[in-house]
Amino acid sequence: VASRLTVRRPKIDQGDTPKYWVLDDPQATHALNILHFGIPAGERYFIDSVRLAMKYVTDPQLKAEAKAFIGQETVHARLHEQAAEHLDLFDTPGIRPVVERADRRREALYRRIDAMPEPRRKRATLLWLSTTLLGEHFTALIADQVFDEAKVDTDALAPAMRELIQWHAAEELEHRTFPYDLYRHIGGGYLTRVAPAVVGIPGVVPGLVLLTSYVMLLDPEIRRPMSIRSYVRAVRGRRSPNLLDFVAQLPVYLRPSHHPDHIASHDDVARAYLQELVA
Ligand SMILES: [Fe+2]
Ligand SMILES: [Fe+2]
């Protein structure tokens, strides 16, 4: 059975990427630097929820897609970590230890759930997977903006970063329905799906602002928290994703009839991009 997802391994060399790789905009750069040091840990977290769910999957198509999903997220994590290394983000005190602690906690949680007797193991897996669905909802909405010329000007990015972000965003749109379909296939229901959203939806924007401020304070050339005025300027200049727009689309997740198939309006642009990438 062929998967609808393709694992691509683009060669991206960050050698010439400057420190402030969003058109000399330090704040917009740091807002997106979260991707490089934070997203890989998140992707490992998504992967583990899918690995836990594998033993309940009976559909060969979904099995093939699970493998491809894990492959895609693994390559994403690797290339973002390469970018983080290039930018010396991990050398900043306060980043590597935090990421390593998150990884250790995730591994411990995986072992604990994997050792649970049924039906507790499956219930815990569904709950973990539901947080993955929410994370994929967030990434799909941001990814959709990357392919919306009215919102994001990709020419504002240093070339290797532009490649990294476009490729990653396109694959996020490509696999956005997979975790959802997997969740439904193994019996996940509405209440467990929306449970993490009750905390996650109100928390995501404050979380992003705090994280951006955190990395800006760690940067010896900046040492101040995020400024709303520069943020508004960056959104007008299409150098930062539009968080108001993002927020406006979050609640669709709460609809009982929600399916991620319906959330991306620039899916076709993303698909065309991927087609060219492999050609
Ligand atoms: Fe990803
Ligand atoms: Fe993803």
Are the C-beta atoms of residues 226 and 31 closer than 8 Å to each other? Answer: yes
Residue 168 to residue 72: CA distance in whole angstroms: 9
Q: Is 7 helix (H, G, I), strand (E, B) or coil?
A: coil
Backbone angles phi, psi at 156, to 5 degrees: -75, -5
The band of 277, judged by pLDDT with boundaries at 50, 70 and 90, is confident
Q: Give me the residues paired with residue 157 across strands.
A: 22
Cα of 76 vs centre of ligand 1, distance in Å, is 5
- Collect all residues with Cβ–Cβ distance below 8 Å to 38 and sequence separation of at least 6: 99, 211
Q: Each residue of 84-120: pLDDT tens digit?
A: 999 998 888 788 999 999 999 999 999 999 999 999 9
Cα of 43 vs centre of ligand 1, distance in Å, is 6
Are the C-beta atoms of residues 265 and 144 closer than 8 Å to each other? Answer: yes
Count of other CB atoms within 10 angstroms of residue 150: 8
Residue 36, token pair as written in the block: 């490089």
Cα of 144 vs centre of ligand 2, distance in Å, is 13
CA–centroid distance for 213 within its chain = 19
Q: Which of 18-32, 89-103, 126-140 has the lowest mean pLDDT?
A: 89-103
What average pLDDT does the segment 171-198 reach?
97
Residue 219 exposed, middle or buried by CB count within 10 Å (0-12, 13-18, 19+): middle
Check residue 244 and give its pLDDT. 94
Residue 123 to residue 130: CA distance in whole angstroms: 11
Count of other CB atoms within 10 angstroms of residue 115: 8
Among all bound ligands, the one having the nearest atom to the CA of 260 is 2
Check residue 177 and give its pLDDT. 97
DSSP code at position 216: H
What average pLDDT does the segment 267-273 reach?
95
Of 186, 192, 14, residue with least CA distance to 86: 14
The band of 144, judged by pLDDT with boundaries at 50, 70 and 90, is very high
Cα of 119 vs centre of ligand 1, distance in Å, is 30
Check residue 43 and give its pLDDT. 96
Cα of 73 vs centre of ligand 1, distance in Å, is 5
* Omega of the bond leading into 119 within 30 degrees of 0 (cis): yes
Check residue 27 and give its pLDDT. 95
Are the C-beta atoms of residues 36 and 84 closer than 8 Å to each other? Answer: yes
Of 70, 62, 80, 71, residue with least CA distance to 46: 70
Are the C-beta atoms of residues 216 and 25 closer than 8 Å to each other? Answer: no
Number of H helices, E strands in the chain: 10, 0
Would the pLDDT of 278 be above 80? no
Check residue 92 and give its pLDDT. 80
Among all bound ligands, the one having the nearest atom to the CA of 77 is 1
Check residue 94 and give its pLDDT. 84
Q: Each residue of 203-246: pLDDT tens digit?
A: 999 999 999 999 999 999 999 999 999 999 999 999 999 999 99
Average pLDDT, whole number, for the chain?
95
Cα of 146 vs centre of ligand 1, distance in Å, is 14
Residue 228, token pair as written in the block: 């709303």
Residue 252, token pair as written in the block: 């669709």
* Omega of the bond leading into 18 within 30 degrees of 0 (cis): no
Residue 176 to residue 134: CA distance in whole angstroms: 10
Residue 229, token pair as written in the block: 């005025």
Check residue 24 and give its pLDDT. 86
Cα of 73 vs centre of ligand 2, distance in Å, is 6
Residue 190 to residue 161: CA distance in whole angstroms: 37
